[in-house]
Amino acid sequence: MDSHELFIEYQPIVLLSDASCIGAEALVRWRREHTILQPSEFLRAIDSTPLSGRLTYWVIDTVAADLGPWLSEHPGTQISINVPPEILGRGGLQYAAERSGLSAHANQIVLEITEHGVPDQLGLQALKMMAERGLRVALDDVTLTSVNLALLTRCNFSVIKLDRQMTAQLEPAAPEPQWLPALSSLLRNSELKIVAEGVETQYQADVLRGAGVQMAQGYLFSASLAAPALIAYHASVC
């Protein structure tokens, strides 16, 4: 961060009904000499350390600078930001959002929390307060395991993100995975919104749409983009 080696790309999120772009997920990249490191290559190293909070606040500042005016012009769009559970309920998140101006777009922000870190009691209280204020929180990397389902019952998640390993199971020659009917039932009996990650083929998009999944992201629609390219992509498909 101090050497300005980090930057953000935005992975478009589209509606499966018509492939229109409704927003994006902010993804941190690390330009290390002549190599671009993906989040999976370095984020785990700072889990549960002071750096996880500092990086999150840097992302908030950068998103506000990159997309603040665009969010104002397009109130129907959303931006997803990954948040480590250990900083929930500590006050820094709200302070960073207010300082950067991103709090003005609170109803357009989706906070993504991975199942790898379960919020503590302060975090759970923060999630409850966010839900009461109309803020949206997503559970990331969902594989519909007992761990996922337990988190869904404990926390006020309004969005779940289907892990790319689940999407990859959808192939024309493969049998229908057992989790697909369960997912359809979950959608019929709840108000949850689902974003499928890693959608790379039209077949996957068609099956997910048929199951009731509302949103998707993946190479079928677009690779991750710099902020100006995201704005141009949104304009081209909306």
| Cα separation, 234 vs 8, whole angstroms | 17
Which two tokens mark 180? Answer: 């697909």
Domain contains 40? yes
Question: Are the C-beta atoms of residues 8 and 36 closer than 8 Å to each other?
Answer: no
Cα 116 off chain centre by? 15
Provide the CATH number for the domain around residue 198. Answer: 3.20.20.450
Domain contains 1? no
Question: Are the C-beta atoms of residues 161 and 197 closer than 8 Å to each other?
Answer: yes
Record the pTM: 0.90
Domain contains 164? yes
The pLDDT score that the predictor gives to residue 14 is 98
Domain contains 146? yes
pLDDT in tens, 111-150: 888 756 556 667 667 777 776 666 788 888 888 765 566 6
Task: Please give the tally of structural domains in the chain.
Answer: 1
Q: Which residue has the tokens 């995975």?
A: 177
Which two tokens mark 115? Answer: 């199942």
Domain contains 85? yes
Range of the domain at 38: 6-237
Which two tokens mark 154? Answer: 């404990």
Q: Measured over all CA atoms, what is the biggest interatomic distance in the chain, rounded to whole angstroms?
A: 52
pLDDT in tens, 95-116: 788 888 888 888 898 988 875 6
- DSSP helix/strand/coil, 221: coil
Domain contains 218? yes
Residue among 196, 200, 220, 221 nearest 208 (CA): 196
Beta bridge partners of 28: 8
